[in-house]
Amino acid sequence: MTSSAVPERTTDRPVANRWVILVAGVLVQLAIGAVYAWSVFAKAMQSDEAFGWSKAQAAVPFELAIGMIFIGSYIGGRIQDRRGPRVVALTGGIVYSIGVMIASFADADRFWILLLGYGVLGGFGLGMAYIVPIAMLQKWFPDKPGLITGIAVAGFGFGAVITAPLGQRLIAGDPSMPTKAFLPLGIGYLVAVVIGAVLFRNPPEGYRPPGMGDAAAPTAVAATGGAAPDADFTASEALGTRQWYVLTAILTLSVTAGISLISVAAGSASDVAGYSAAAAASLVGVLGLFNGGGRILWGWLSDRIGKMPAFMGILGIQGVCLLLIPHVSSPALFAVLAALVYLCYGGAFGTMPSTAGRFFGVRHAGAIYGLMLIGWSVGGVVGPLLISSLIGEDKAYTLGFTVVGIIALVGMALPLLTKKPAPRAARSAETEAAARR
């Protein structure tokens, strides 16, 4: 007799559909992940043939977009928990694509259009769409949450690998107006996100994938938000725990460390290891593969060695590599160290969604992890500003990378001291007992 606590899978939603939905999620992430190709456009805008902007001015639209991600992910995550994944992904993807297309009308005298289109609308839509597949796929794959969310966000990391050469080719068509490249790119992004998002949906309540039999049923139910509500925290309950703030701090520190190198990768490759400008640009493109691959590798690894040991490795490897990079003259060794930093930077994004799901359940994963992405926005702004100010005009790479490396190593203490919070029912009992005393 089938237990009423764990409903059988419905026959109108076959298990094979979850793999189609995974592919759809990766497609959406590939489109919005193009934001990491910004350096291609920023470099073109700085040329005298185009707008002649300074490095600082050319960085503002990207910084604004990264800052808007948290707002979009927070709003999108809350709506997703109420309305489902499809409407949020479509809305976010359309807003993102329209923002990119609006940016195509910017020029040297209309900088504000770039800020509005790429920065405000693009960043907001990106955050809104980004959170959807991460929360949704944990419900479809409770048997392998780290690996699957790693694959999903790897699409985001690989997005720049596709957009960078394509954007460069479009810019070459009219070097005096590099922003024109945003129009065909925005149209392409729109097609991709619509095709992917229309396939999004949550699994049936109580869904269990093959291989998760009755013995694993309670875990599966809790993971999917089925019939064990005490296993799932609401967003406000998660915010009431110490663990939510610690996990957000871990994400912030990892982003700060990794994006510090990412923001100066080409320049440091030339100044520290002697790469030519062309070779440094090629290296940056290759390193993007490690950003994407790290999301899969660390997501998979964290399912096996544990979430907190994984984060200790992510922060520790970044810290050691950043300390070594300014002292390396060998181009090959520089590439290896940089690749490890990129691998771990991506790894935090591949590991944190399933960590939040394991700590707080996934019924309200959209809102809970969406709030945690404030760490991405904070780290994405602080990291580049910190490293650029420390390096300065004197090219003090040793000072800059040493400070950021030490920050990452000190951050290893956070996962070492972090444990999963008590379930809701246990915490409620403790609160009532304390009140009686």
pLDDT value at residue 333: 96
In angstroms, rounded to a whole number, what is the distance separating the alpha carbons of residues 210 and 201? 19
C-alpha distances out from residue 113 to 31, 37, 68, Å: 21, 19, 16
Domain edge (last residue) among 203, 222, 240: 203
| Model pLDDT for residues 196-224, shown as the tens digit of each residue | 999 998 888 777 776 665 444 444 333 33
Q: Is residue 288 part of a domain?
A: yes
Q: Six-digit token pair at 50?
A: 């185009």
Between residues 269 and 324, the one the model is more confident about: 324
- Same domain, residue pair 257 and 374: yes
Check pLDDT > 70 for residue 330. yes
Residues 188 and 240 in one domain: no
135 and 267 assigned to the same domain: no
Question: Do 195 and 240 reside in the same domain of the chain?
Answer: no
Does residue 52 belong to any structural domain of this protein?
Answer: yes
Whether residue 156 sits in one domain with residue 257: no
Give the Cα separation of 79 and 366 in Å (integer).
Answer: 8
CB-side exposure of 224: number of CA atoms within 13 Å? 26
Whether residues 274 and 388 fall in one domain: yes
CATH code of 263's domain: 1.20.1250.20
Domain assignment present for residue 424? The answer is yes
Let me know if residue 325 belongs to a domain: yes
Percent of the chain with pLDDT over 70: 88
Mean pLDDT of 239-263: 93
- The pLDDT tens digits of the residues spanning 342-395 come to 999 999 998 998 899 889 987 887 788 888 988 988 998 888 888 888 988 788
Position 91 scores a pLDDT of 96
Provide the pLDDT confidence category of residue 231 given band limits of 50, 70 and 90: low
- Asked if 366 and 311 sit in the same domain, the reply is yes
* Domain assignment present for 308: yes
Does position 2 have pLDDT exceeding 50, yes or no?
no
- Asked if residue 301 and residue 347 are part of one domain, the reply reads yes
User: How confident is the model at residue 211, as a pLDDT?
Assistant: 64
C-alpha distances in Å from residue 278, one per residue of 159, 266, 281, 291: 21, 9, 5, 20
For residue 184, is it within any domain? yes
Whether the per-residue pLDDT at 425 is higher than 60: the answer is: no
**Residues 46 and 125 grouped into a single domain:** yes
The verdict on 242 and 180 lying in the same domain is no
Q: How many domains does the chain have?
A: 2
Enclosing domain of residue 85: 18-203
Instruction: Render pLDDT for 6-63 as a digit per residue (tens, 0 to 9).
Output: 333 433 444 448 889 999 999 999 999 888 788 778 878 888 889 988 877 888 898 8
User: What Å distances lie between residue 215 and 24, 208, 220, CA to CA?
Assistant: 31, 11, 10
Q: What is the pTM of this model?
A: 0.76
Whether 193 contacts 120, CB under 8 Å: no
Considering the domain architecture, whether residues 257 and 396 belong to the same structural domain is answered as yes
Please check whether residue 1 lies inside any domain of the structure.
no
220, part of any domain: no
Note the pLDDT of residue 326: 94
Using a 10 angstrom Cβ sphere, with 0-12 exposed, 13-18 middle and 19 or more buried, the burial of residue 49 is: exposed
Position 417 pLDDT exceeds 70: yes
Q: Write down the pLDDT at residue 97.
A: 97
Measured between alpha carbons, how far is 383 from 371 in angstroms, rounded to an integer? 20
